[in-house]
């Protein structure tokens, strides 16, 4: 019995020594202080059990067991807190409030032991032994408590060792983890489970826990865990140095400072230790202390830095750095040595002032001559620069850097003059299709980037000997030189196909995809002309023929093309006067309710009847109107004309009818478009809900903020919005829902496919169903047959428009039709065929 008590007491002395030894090594380190506290818990544990074993009575043994409980109740929570600090864990467990909560289970179990009236002690040959079989109800929570805390600490230490970058830390983790695992496996059965089964055994957990603490102490003393301090770097020498010295960890956190550092910076030791070293360095100095670069160099001498004192004063210093290694060659930390050079800087400043004064006097004596030289040199430089800029702008396009029309004309003329008799020169006139729409929709900045990308792509595929020029907004000329007369068409077609292929890939501009195509006209020397003017003009004619052929095409010049060019020029010239001369007209096509077959409204459609009584189709004059900038005034005239006509029909008693007018992207980009429309409706006294603007599908879902903003403003003004040719572009029903369109118009190709193509019919059905799901009405255009009507009625399409009922009619015929229908019984009679 005495031997057992002596063994327990020996563990007390050993644990006390270990704790004090580590604490004395670095009193400021929190991990060292927690290790001392851990050893104290073992001292309580061992000291109490020393007297439990040797007590004379069970009552005395119970008293000493309470003393021991101070240790074995709190050991596990203190050990977990110690683990959090020495592994430098940064998770939620490291929070101050959480760390206090870690000790609550220990307090609860200690209170239970201290207040429990039971004293289930058994006297054995080696002294009093406590039996836990009668208190199993609280023993199981206690086992869960120390198991959970121990496994959490085990996991933290294990992964700390796995992540460690130094040999020292890996060996420390291995020693602690292996010892902890062995102690846990041996202690739990002996100290917890055997007593629960009724076997009286000695409390070997205190001895095994002491072994575990010895392992931690060994890793501390042998591998210098938590020992990075001035004792490692010669405490006596550093503390007696007159220059400031800082001991800094590899994470650039201050571990120790000497007295001279406090004098220089004005900070107390406690305010610096544990702080990042960057708090002492001002301004650009911090950039010099690149952690990665510093750790690469063993020693760095005399870096000039600026120290920021506690009073926010900058002190110039020379900084020297020295790495400190352990016996394994791993970096323990760095020694920062600072030397105050304030006096030297003051002398340098005085010397600089003296030099500045001397230089100033020298400069004053030569100022006039230098000023004259500078002025003259500046004038010469600016003149040369201006001449170069004038020359450049006279010959080159500033956006793309390509030759402009003037220089291109000169190059063609020079090439023709030097051309050999057996060679053919080709002029390629390139025009980007729909570039104006791209510009109008996304803005000129977007268009400029598209042009620059186009030039880059063409340059990548064209022969090096050829010459590319920009002669207009979206127009380019390519001079193909030195082609053999017999195979020149083959050579040119190869180049043309290479150029067309570059437009197959989308242009990515500011994260947005844009698709372009190109129409190309080709004229050749000498067969199509022998001078630059003629060749360019004929290449232009061929290009327009390619555009009229559906765009995205190329054509070689032929004499027959001139007729089409003359026709388009005639349209272009006469279109300017068409409105003033009253040649533009509106026809109206009724829109029919599918169920009642009543007329709900009309779509206003532009027509051009020239003074010679010839009709120009909209498909011919509207693209030219877009091209020459007349689309906005023409569409504005059509809107006012259509709404005035609708108001007239309302006044005649045909109320409830709506009017749909088509609007262009250019109109939607006009800031006052919606306000002008509302003002005109107010002047007419026409309710906005009877007005409807029809837009192309691509306009509804482009990303031009000005168009989207205008569409929202129109919707908020109670004007209806319908989307034309739905299903032909990049529709999204989610976008339609967010956009709040009132009506979708199914395009003609899908309607024409009813009864002929199951896919087209399925698409029509899908559009109707999905549109109705989100509360949008559907109108089918170009309905020409009864089969199409019956299918649309069956699929619950809301409205139809097409020649099956009525073709577009002039206003006087529409008025007569309305009078005729008003005399019929709407519930029993259907509208007659047009």
- For 541-591, the pLDDT digits (tens) are 999 888 877 788 999 999 888 777 778 888 888 998 888 888 999 999 999
Stretch among 285-289, 334-338, 593-597, 810-814 having the lowest mean pLDDT = 285-289
pLDDT of residue 572: 85
Name the CATH superfamily housing domain 590-620+629-822: EAL domain (3.20.20.450)
Report residue 118's pLDDT band, with 50, 70 and 90 as the boundaries: low
- pTM score of the predicted model: 0.46
- Are residues 590 and 820 in contact, defined by beta-carbon separation less than 8 angstroms? no
3-state DSSP assignment of residue 723: strand
Query: Which CATH number, 2.70.70.10, 3.40.50.2000, 1.10.10.10, 1.20.1070.10, labels domain 2-223?
Result: 1.20.1070.10
Helix, strand, coil percentages, rounded to 5, for the chain:
55, 20, 25
**DSSP code, position 193:** I
Q: What is the pLDDT of residue 617?
A: 92
Tell me the backbone φ, ψ of residue 486, rounded to 5 degrees: -80, -35
Rounded to whole angstroms, the Cα distance separating 335 from 233 reads 8
DSSP 189: I
Cβ-in-10-Å burial (0-12, 13-18, 19+) of 480 comes to buried
Residue 136: DSSP 8-state: H
Q: Which of 126-130, 245-249, 464-468, 682-686 has the highest mean pLDDT?
A: 682-686
Helices of type H across 116-204: 136-163, 167-188, 194-196
Q: How many percent of the chain have pLDDT more than 70?
A: 85
**Whole-Å CA distances, 39 to 11, 218, 277, 334:** 10, 14, 32, 31
Please state which of the ranges 722-726, 769-773, 783-787 shows the lowest mean pLDDT.
722-726
Per residue, the 3-state secondary structure of 642-709, as one string, reads HHHHHHHHHHCCCCCCEEEEECCHHHHCCCCHHHHHHHHHHHHCCCHHHEEEEEEHHHHCCCCHHHHH
pLDDT tens readout for residues 378-430: 888 888 888 888 888 889 999 999 999 999 999 999 988 888 777 789 999 99
CA distance 367 to 373: 10
Q: How far apart are CA 423 and CA 416, in angstroms?
A: 10
Beta strands in 196-340 (DSSP E): 245-249, 254-257, 299-308, 314-325, 331-340
Higher per-residue pLDDT: 60 or 749 = 749
Residue 511 confidence (pLDDT) above 80: yes
pLDDT digits (tens, 9 = 90+) for 790-809: 999 999 999 999 999 999 99
Which alpha helices (H) appear in 701-744, and where do they start and end? 705-716, 733-739
Query: Which helix (H) or strand (E) segment is 477 a member of?
Result: strand 475-484
Radius of gyration of the chain (CA): 47
The stretch 329-339 carries a mean pLDDT of 86
CA atoms of 542 and 546, how far apart (whole Å):
6
∠726-691-669 over CA atoms, to 5°? 65
Would you give the distance in Å from CA 417 to the centre of its chain? 56
| Residues 644, 811: Cα–Cα separation, whole Å | 11
**In this structure, what DSSP letter does residue 198 have?**
T
Q: What is the pLDDT of residues 254-285, one digit of tens each?
A: 988 998 998 899 998 888 888 888 888 866 55
Backbone angles phi, psi at 827, to 5 degrees: -80, -20
pLDDT by residue (tens digit) across 147-194? 888 888 888 888 887 887 777 778 877 877 787 777 777 766 666 666
What mean pLDDT is predicted for residues 624-645?
A: 93
Sheet of strand 314-325, all strands in order from the earlier edge strand to the far edge? 254-257, 245-249, 331-340, 314-325, 299-308
pLDDT at 680: 97
d(CA 195, CA 583): 112
**Residue 582, SS3 per DSSP:** coil
Q: May I ask the CATH architecture of the domain 235-340? A: 2-Layer Sandwich (3.30)
Question: C-alpha distances in angstroms, 27 versus 23, 24, 229, 255?
Answer: 5, 6, 10, 11
pLDDT bin (cut points 50, 70, 90) of residue 130 is low
Beta bridge partners of 299: 322
Exposure letters 627-660 (e unless 16+ CB within 10 A, then b): eeebbbebbbebbbbbbebbbebbeeebeebbbb
How do residues 752-764 score in pLDDT, each as one tens digit? 999 899 999 999 9
For residue 44, what pLDDT band results from cuts at 50, 70 and 90?
Answer: confident
Q: Are 424 and 488 in contact (CB under 8 A)?
A: yes
Q: How many CA atoms lie within 13 A of 156 on its CB side?
A: 22
Query: Using CA atoms, how far apart are residues 428 and 468, in angstroms rounded to an integer?
Result: 9
Is pLDDT of 34 > 50?
Answer: yes
CB 106 within 8 A of CB 74: yes
Q: Count of residues for the chain?
A: 834
Q: For position 2, what pLDDT does the model report?
A: 64
Exposed (0-12), middle (13-18) or buried (19+): which is 424, by Cβ within 10 Å?
A: buried
d(CA 153, CA 82) in angstroms, rounded, equals 9
How large is the average pLDDT for residues 652-658?
Answer: 94
Structure tokens at 408: 């291109």
Of 94 and 433, the one with more pLDDT: 433
Alpha carbons 231 and 220: distance in angstroms, whole number: 14
Please, which residues bridge with residue 777 across strands? 743
> What is the per-residue pLDDT for 233?
47
Average pLDDT value for residue range 514-520 = 91
Predicted pLDDT at 357 = 87
Instruction: Compute how many other C-beta atoms are within 10 angstroms of the C-beta atom of residue 74.
Output: 22
In 233-278, where does DSSP find H-type helix?
235-239, 259-265, 269-272
Residue 160 to residue 169: CA distance in whole angstroms: 8
Max Cα-Cα span within the chain: 135
Q: Are strands 299-308 and 314-325 parallel, antiparallel or unpaired?
A: antiparallel
Span of 26-35, 303-312, 393-402, 771-780 with lowest mean pLDDT: 26-35
Does the pLDDT at position 732 exceed 70? no
Pinpoint the alpha helices (H) of 189-258: 194-196, 205-223, 235-239
Contacts of 728 (CB under 8 A, 6+ apart): 697, 747, 749
Average confidence (pLDDT) over 128-143: 66
pLDDT at 61 over 50: yes
Q: What separation, in Å, do the N-terminal and C-terminal C-alpha atoms of the chain show?
A: 122
Mean pLDDT of the chain: 83
Higher pLDDT, 124 or 596: 596
Q: Which of 528, 538, 582, 583 is nearest to 561 (CA)?
A: 538
Segment among 94-103, 354-363, 742-751 with least mean pLDDT: 94-103
CB-based contact 293:286 (threshold 8 Å): no
Confidence of residue 643 (pLDDT cuts 50, 70, 90): very high
Strand partners, 744: 723, 778
| Structure tokens given for 726 | 């739905």
Instruction: Check residue 107 and give its pLDDT.
Output: 85
How many angstroms separate the CA atoms of 574 and 388, rounded? 43
Give the confidence band of 289 by pLDDT, cuts at 50, 70, 90: low
CATH topology of domain 405-573: Alpha-Beta Plaits (3.30.70)
């Amino acid at each position: 019995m005495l031997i057992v008590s002596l063994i327990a007491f020996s563990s007390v002395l050993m644990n006390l020594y270990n704790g004090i030894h580590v604490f004395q090594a670095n009193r400021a380190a929190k991990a060292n202080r927690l290790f001392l506290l851990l050893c104290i818990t073992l001292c309580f544990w061992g000291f109490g059990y020393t007297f439990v074993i040797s007590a004379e009575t069970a009552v005395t043994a119970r008293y000493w067991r309470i003393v021991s409980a101070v240790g074995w109740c709190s050991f596990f929570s203190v050990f977990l807190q110690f683990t959090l600090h020495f592994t430098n864990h940064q998770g939620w467990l490291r929070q101050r409030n959480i760390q206090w909560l870690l000790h609550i289970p220990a307090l609860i179990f200690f209170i239970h032991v201290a207040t429990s009236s039971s004293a289930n002690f058994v006297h054995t040959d080696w002294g009093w032994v406590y039996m836990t079989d009668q208190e199993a109800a609280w023993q199981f929570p206690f086992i869960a408590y120390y198991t959970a805390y121990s496994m959490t600490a085990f996991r933290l230490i294990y992964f700390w060792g796995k992540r460690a970058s130094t040999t020292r830390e890996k060996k420390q983790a291995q020693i602690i983890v292996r010892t902890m695992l062995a102690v846990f496996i041996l202690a739990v059965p002996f100290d917890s489970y055997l007593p629960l089964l009724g076997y009286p055994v000695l409390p070997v957990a205190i001895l095994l826990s002491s072994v575990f603490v010895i392992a931690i102490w060994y890793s501390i003393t042998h591998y210098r865990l938590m020992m990075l301090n001035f004792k490692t770097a010669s405490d006596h020498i550093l503390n007696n140095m007159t220059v400031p010295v800082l001991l800094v960890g590899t994470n650039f956190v201050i571990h120790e400072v000497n007295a001279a550092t406090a004098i220089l910076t004005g900070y107390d030791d406690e305010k610096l230790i544990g702080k990042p070293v960057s708090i002492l360095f001002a301004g650009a100095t911090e950039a010099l202390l690149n952690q990665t670069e510093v750790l690469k160099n063993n020693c760095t001498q005399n870096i000039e830095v600026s120290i920021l004192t506690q009073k926010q004063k900058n002190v110039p210093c020379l900084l020297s750095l020295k790495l400190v290694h352990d016996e394994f060659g791993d970096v323990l930390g760095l020694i920062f040595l600072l030397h105050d050079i304030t006096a030297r800087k003051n002398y340098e400043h005085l010397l600089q002032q003296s030099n500045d004064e001397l230089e100033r006097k020298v400069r004053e004596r030569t100022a006039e001559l230098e000023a004259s030289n500078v002025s003259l040199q500046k004038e010469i430089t600016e003149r040369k620069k201006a001449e170069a800029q004038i020359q450049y702008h006279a010959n080159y396009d500033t956006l793309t850097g390509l030759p402009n029309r003037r220089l291109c004309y000169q190059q063609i003329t020079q090439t023709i003059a030097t051309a050999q008799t057996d060679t053919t020169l080709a002029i390629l006139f390139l025009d980007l299709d729909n570039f104006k729409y791209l510009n109008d929709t996304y803005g000129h900045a977007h268009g400029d980037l598209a042009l620059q990308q186009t030039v880059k792509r063409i340059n990548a595929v064209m022969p090096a000997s050829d010459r590319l020029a920009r002669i207009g907004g979206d127009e380019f000329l390519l001079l193909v030189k030195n082609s053999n007369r017999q195979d020149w068409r083959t050579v040119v077609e190869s180049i043309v196909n290479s150029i067309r292929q570059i437009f197959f890939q989308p242009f990515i501009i500011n994260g947005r995809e844009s698709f372009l195509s190109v129409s190309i006209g080709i004229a050749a020397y000498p067969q199509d002309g022998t001078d630059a003017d003629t060749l360019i003009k004929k290449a232009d004619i061929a290009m327009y023929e390619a555009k009229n052929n559906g765009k995205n095409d190329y054509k070689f010049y032929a004499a027959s093309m001139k007729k089409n060019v003359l026709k388009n020029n005639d349209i272009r010239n006469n279109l300017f006067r068409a409105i003033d001369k009253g040649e533009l007209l509106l026809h109206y096509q009724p829109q029919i309710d599918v169920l009642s077959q009543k007329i709900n409204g009309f779509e206003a459609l532009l027509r051009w009847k020239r003074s010679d009584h010839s009709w120009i189709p909209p498909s011919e004059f509207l693209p030219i109107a877009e091209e020459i900038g007349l689309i906005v005034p023409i569409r504005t005239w059509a809107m006012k004309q259509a709404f005035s006509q609708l108001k007239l029909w309302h006044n005649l008693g045909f109320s409830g009818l709506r009017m749909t007018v088509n609007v262009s992207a250019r109109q939607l980009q006009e800031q006052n478009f919606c306000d002008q429309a509302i003002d005109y409706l107010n002047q007419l006294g026409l309710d906005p809900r009877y007005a409807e603007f029809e837009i192309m599908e691509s306009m509804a879902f482009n990303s031009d903020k000005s168009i989207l903003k205008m569409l929202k403003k129109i919707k908020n003004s109670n004007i209806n919005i319908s989307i034309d040719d739905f299903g032909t572009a990049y529709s999204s029903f989610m976008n339609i829902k967010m956009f709040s369109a009132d009506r979708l118009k199914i395009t003609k190709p899908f309607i024409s496919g009813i009864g002929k193509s199951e896919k087209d019919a399925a698409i029509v059905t899908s559009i109707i169903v999905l549109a109705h799901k989100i509360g949008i009405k559907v109108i089918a255009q170009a309905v020409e047959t009864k089969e199409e009507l019956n299918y649309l009625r069956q699929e619950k399409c809301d409205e139809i428009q097409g020649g099956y009922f009525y073709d577009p009619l002039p206003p006087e015929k529409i008025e007569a039709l309305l009078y005729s229908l008003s005399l019929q019984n709407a519930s029993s009679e259907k509208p007659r065929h047009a």
